[in-house]
């Protein structure tokens, strides 16, 4: 007689435990579609950063070239072409 009562009680307690468990907060997109969009955006971002670094290196090489030639200083009283 007590056996099925215990079983029912057991399930009831399990059910209440489910409510006591905090649902984990989703700190990142759950859907795979959204995840792929985020990783794609990350890739584009890195393309942007690395591209910028490459261009800056190009600029730095040019600056070194000019400085080594000694032509980097602008002459103050150079006349305008017009």
Which residue, 8 or 38, has its beta carbon nearer to other proteins?
38
The answer to whether 63 touches 72, Cβ cutoff 8 Å, is yes
Position 36 contacts other proteins (CB under 8 A): no
For residue 1, the SS3 value is coil
The answer to whether 29 touches 35, Cβ cutoff 8 Å, is yes
Position 10 contacts other proteins (CB under 8 A): no
Stretch that binds other proteins, among 3-11, 12-20, 21-29 (CB under 8 A): 21-29
Residue 25, φ and ψ in degrees, nearest 5: -75, 130
Chain residues that interact with other proteins, rule: CB under 8 A: 22, 25-29, 38-39, 42, 44-46, 48-49, 51-53, 55-60, 62-63, 67
């Amino acid at each position: 007689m007590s056996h099925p009562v215990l079983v029912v009680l057991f399930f009831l307690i399990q059910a209440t435990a489910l409510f006591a468990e905090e649902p984990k907060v989703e700190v990142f997109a759950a859907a795979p579609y959204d995840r792929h969009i985020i990783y794609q955006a990350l890739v584009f971002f890195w393309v942007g950063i690395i591209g910028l670094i490459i261009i800056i290196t190009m600029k730095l090489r040019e600056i070194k070239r000019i400085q080594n030639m000694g032509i980097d200083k602008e002459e103050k009283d150079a006349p305008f072409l017009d």
